[in-house]
Amino acid sequence: MTDAPFIEIEDLYFSRGEHEIFRGVNMTIPRGKVTAIMGPSGTGKTTLLKLIGGQLTPERGRIVIDGQDVHQLSRKALFALRKRMGMLFQSGALFSDLDVFENVAFPLRVHTDLPNAMVRDLVLLKLQAVGLRGARLLTPAELSGGMARRVALARAVALDPELILYDEPFVGQDPISMGVLVQLIKRLNQALQLTSVVVSHDIKETLSIADYLYLIADGQVVAHGTPQTLDTNQDPRVSQFIHGEPDGPVPFHYPAEAFYRDILGEPPMTKTG
């Protein structure tokens, strides 16, 4: 294994319509480590994962995964690269026409020629790890949001990828499964030497598993470092986020005109959030 970073993001610019999401983001994601990307909601964390996965194309800058520039690849090469990645979607995104077992078996069936008995064993192993071996015959519609996300995790690791992108893995989990998930992500990383990218704003859980953290706000990386260095970071934006304080330089409110004017109906009555 080399020490070269697994993902390099250089000078990334991306916007949706008029709204600029990234303005020159630079990141280095080390191989075999858990890297967390944190930031207030609406800062484009999910968008960043989609850019890494090659589903969106940046306006400027590049993303290099293991030496390959994602957005210069042909369609075929991009799909080949994606076989080496797993992505856990916020919604789970399970295939609604397949049951839990077949959802987890899907990557194995399409990318390998393994005999059925072996597919079965592998799927049951993955489902056991997320605690849902007993739910294998349920359809996605019968699962709760948290369960669907755990099945999706089993599917994301079915092919033992080199890189896993986690989009908000902890949202909607009860305390028990949350603890198990945190352990699972950590164990997967240590046992298989995976590179993991976790996008989240659950500070406690994320700090407990991350080796390295990036904090993004206003379309840029505002701070990065190990959990210890960020915990003691003096930047008010960083400490406000890490310690979850409502008052500080990062506004809680979506941009709007002054509250009293909005309520009292003084002109101009503009549409606000």
Contact positions toward other proteins, by CB under 8 A? 50, 53, 55, 75, 79-80, 82-83, 85-87, 89, 91, 93-96, 106-107, 110-111, 152, 155
> For other proteins, which is the closer residue by CB, 73 or 240?
73
> For other proteins, which is the closer residue by CB, 13 or 106?
106
Query: Least CB distance from residue 165 to other proteins, whole Å?
Result: 8
> For other proteins, which is the closer residue by CB, 123 or 223?
123
Task: Give the DSSP per-residue string, 13-24.
Answer: EEEETTEEEEEE
> For other proteins, which is the closer residue by CB, 156 or 250?
156
Q: What's the N-to-C CA distance of the chain in angstroms?
A: 49
Q: Which amino acid is at 95?
A: F
Query: Least CB distance from residue 247 to other proteins, whole Å?
Result: 35
CA atoms lying within 13 Å on the CB side of residue 255:
3
**DSSP type of residue 71:** G
For residue 106, give the nearest of 95, 92, 117 by alpha carbon.
95
For residue 87, give the nearest of 233, 211, 198 by alpha carbon.
198
* Torsion region of 116: left, alpha or beta (phi above 0 gives left; psi -120 to 50 gives alpha): alpha
Query: Least CB distance from residue 45 to other proteins, whole Å?
Result: 16
Query: Least CB distance from residue 76 to other proteins, whole Å?
Result: 9
CA gap 10, 16 in Å, rounded: 19
Query: Least CB distance from residue 94 to other proteins, whole Å?
Result: 8
> For other proteins, which is the closer residue by CB, 132 or 157?
157
